[in-house]
Homo-oligomer: A and B are copies of this chain.
């Protein structure tokens, strides 16, 4: 039941196949936009629930800002940029009307409105009115919203014109506090990625040329996909006083003097689901880590024997009720009986493609033996994919099983990451030869593989041009910069920065 394309034969097509087979999302008739279907959206809801708890625990409140931003908000930004042109959706009219039988836009707006690509400017504008005294600080807010960037080559979850995200925005008395905030939220994201999504990451600072425009520092956490590329998954920025100056966020300090506030911002998006797929899915379809699985256990009743339908149904319902009382990760287990009128074998494969962590089948023979047939999604290629387990023993072990699956998934991804960060490449020639290989599915052993390189960088223009040619980027400067100095892997010049080089999504 392998997908049409596998990771080793055609990685990009495999990615699309997984999404289609798992019924997670699809491209819409609305150009460049996606429909997120229940299984994909259910994963997003789990991410929201887990991250939102942490956002609140760290002292933030949610709120909501308008999605339409007046054009004049972009004027300041445009002033300083030669040939300014930003891809974004522009609302110019306020009605549809019939004219000579044709349907056309009417009611032209005096000032066009931009559909938010991010809410930085409009939120800063509110802050400038909310903040008057040091007593009003810090302001620590977050919003869950849709944003728009006019992508020309849409890919579901990775690059669509509209996507969902959260954006946190905070204002503080000092730049040190903004720095603290940016680092705290980076830690929250690392925790989300590693402990909830089972995606190991390399955290660090973005180099100067990759920073969010106007930020003092941009922090990032870089995961490795199964084709060795990095994924830009989320960032956290210390904006210093730059944004407060532009938006005039001033407060009276304890000494009674007017001062600019320091701000920070941070965000992750539905892109994380793309990262989840490219970290965990296999050639049979999606594999969802239990912590973010909308359903962790699916029960399929086998109804072939018509005389036993009621009895099997009751047995399945009992199993569900017993499991729903168990916990995993400190939460009640999410379990559903699949009662739809489809063949049970089709249901089993459907949930396998969707990547439900555990699929259980129960039929008349299982009832006799007081047992259940358990399939663990991560073990699909192992001998123990199918196990007959005693009913009570399964119920008692369900929480542990889910927690073990989560751990196994993280460990497997961590092993892959660790194995593919090369630190032994020391010359520009070896570096170029390494990245001259095509990116390929990392678990093939019969071809060269390309992952990350950790090494030195001189930081000059020549190095940036060289990277562009090679289509590689600097993902981050890891926090540990204690490595000895050496020669830049791109230019051979003296270098002190220790960075992660990679191709990236």
Q: When chains A and B are docked, how far (Å) is the Cα of A504 from the Cα of B350?
A: 49
Interface residue ranges of A82-137 to B (CB < 8 Å): 83-98, 103, 105-107, 112-115, 122, 125-126, 135
Residues from chain B with a CB closer than 8 A to the CB of A36 are 63-64
The chain B residue sitting closest to A69, CB to CB, is B30
**For the complex formed by this chain, how many copies does it contain in all?**
2
What residues on B are CB-neighbors of A141 within 8 Å?
38
Q: Given B31, B67, B92, B162, which contacts A92 in the complex, CB threshold below 8 Å?
A: B92
Instruction: List the B side residues contacting A28 at CB < 8 Å.
Output: 65-66, 122, 126
One of A70-78, A386-394, A465-473 at the interface? A70-78
Q: Is A42 an interface residue (CB 8 A)?
A: yes
From the candidates B34, B38, B67, B87, name the one contacting A95 in the complex (CB within 8 A). B87
Query: Is A150 close to B, CB under 8 A?
Result: yes
Q: Is the CB of A96 within 8 A of B74?
A: yes
Evaluate contact between A83 and B95: CB separation under 8 angstroms. Answer: no
Among B44, B67, B97, B107, contact of A84 (Cβ-Cβ < 8 Å): B97
Q: Which of A150-187 contact B (CB under 8 A)?
A: 150, 161-162, 164
A90-B96 contact, Cβ under 8 Å, with A62-B45, A141-B38, A342-B135: yes
> In the assembly, what is the distance between CA of A86 and CA of B150, in Å?
26
Interface size of A in residues (CB-CB distance below 8 Å): 68
Report Cα–Cα, A176/B130, bound state, in Å. Answer: 53
Is A41 touching B63 in the complex (CB atoms < 8 A)? yes
Which chain B positions have C-beta within 8 A of A35? 63-66, 126
Cβ A67 vs Cβ B106 within 8 A: no
Enumerate chain A interface residues (CB-CB to B < 8 A): 28-31, 33-38, 40-42, 44-45, 61-71, 74-75, 78, 81, 83-98, 103, 105-107, 112-115, 122, 125-126, 135, 141, 145-146, 150, 161-162, 164, 340-342
The 8 closest A-B pairs by CB, nearest first: A33-B66, A38-B61, A30-B66, A90-B93, A36-B64, A85-B97, A90-B105, A41-B63
Q: Given that A61-B38, A62-B38, A91-B115 are known contacts, is A96 also in contact with B78, CB under 8 Å in the complex? A: yes
Task: Tell me if B65 and A85 are in contact (CB < 8 A).
Answer: no
Q: Are B84 and A88 in contact (CB under 8 A)?
A: no
| Residues on B with beta carbons closer than 8 Å to the beta carbon of A340 | 135
Q: How far is the CB of A111 from chain B (nearest CB, A)?
A: 8
Residues of B within 8 A of A115 (CB): 91, 115
Q: Which residues of B contact A161 (CB under 8 A)?
A: 68
Known: A28-B122, A91-B90, A94-B90. A33 touches B68 (CB 8 A): yes
Asked if B89 and A62 make an inter-chain contact with CB atoms under 8 angstroms apart, the answer reads no
Q: Which B residues touch A135, using CB under 8 A?
A: 340-342
Point out the residues of chain B lying under 8 angstroms from A84, CB to CB.
Answer: 96-98, 103
